[in-house]
Amino acid sequence: MDGRTVLITGGAGGIGSAAVEAFVADGWRVVAPVRPGGAGRLPKGAVAVDADLQIETDVTAAVAAAAGEPGAPLRAVVNLAGGYAGGGLIAETPIAGVDAMLAANLRPTYLVTAAALPHLVAGGGGSVVCVAARAALSPFAGAAGYAIAKAAVLAFANAVAVEYKGSGVRCNTILPAIVDTPANRRDMPGADHSKWPTGEEIAAVLLFLASDASKPTSGAQLPVYGRS
pLDDT of residue 179 exceeding 60, the answer is yes
pTM above 0.85, yes or no: yes
Q: Residue 176: helix, strand or coil by DSSP?
A: strand
How far CA 9 is from CA of 20, 33, 47, 110, in Å, comes to: 10, 6, 12, 12
pLDDT tens per residue across span 99-149: 999 999 999 999 999 999 999 999 999 999 999 999 999 999 999 999 999
Q: How confident is the model at residue 67 (pLDDT cuts 50, 70, 90)?
A: very high
Give the number of domains in the chain: 1
Cα 76–chain centre separation: 11
Enclosing domain of residue 135: 5-224
pLDDT tens, position by position, 34-62: 998 888 899 999 999 999 999 999 999 99
Distance of CA 1 to CAs 4, 19, 45, Å? 7, 18, 18
User: What three-state secondary structure class fits 79?
Assistant: strand
pLDDT at 183: 85
pLDDT digits (tens, 9 = 90+) for 4-32: 999 999 999 989 999 999 999 999 999 99
Write the CATH number for 184. 3.40.50.720
> Is the per-residue pLDDT at 1 higher than 60?
no
Q: List residues with catalytic annotation.
A: 146
High-pLDDT (> 90) share of the chain, %:
84
Percentage of the chain modeled with pLDDT above 70: 99
